[in-house]
Amino acid sequence: MRRQLRLLPHGGRMPWTYGKVKKTGVNMYKTTVKIDGMMCGMCEAHVNDAIRKALPAVKKLSTSHTKGEAGFLTEDKPDPEELKSIIGQTGYQVLSVETTEYEKKKGLFGIF
């Protein structure tokens, strides 16, 4: 006995896939800024505020006074000189700025 294929009334797509759009072609950049002079959590907050004001589209901003660095993601490459001047105005010295392309990890532990 053969099974007969039934066509779905909605063009073959499952109803829960309506309206979902996959984002493709969006490049993210990970920027790491080495900073000298941070001593405590308030220093981290000052640097975070300065970066957020200069680059409002920043995502996943984290700063560590123990490591002496700040890291964040953006869709556009930030200008290193602008970052140095903005953070320099808060009283901290920028030692280096490194920007690399960021690839989002997929699924469980990056396997899938």
Domains of the chain, first to last: 28-103 (3.30.70.100)
Q: Rounded to whole angstroms, how far apart are CA atoms 63 and 68?
A: 8
Block means of pLDDT (10 residues each) for the chain, length 112 residues? Answer: 56 50 67 95 95 92 96 93 93 94 70 55
pLDDT at 70: 96
pLDDT of res. 43: 95
**Residue 84 half-sphere exposure toward CB, CA atoms < 13 A:** 8
pLDDT at 18: 47
Give residue 94's Cα distance to chain centre.
20
Say if CB 50 and CB 83 are below 8 A apart.
Answer: no
pTM to 2 decimals? Answer: 0.68
CB 48 within 8 A of CB 38: no
Strand partners, 72: 31
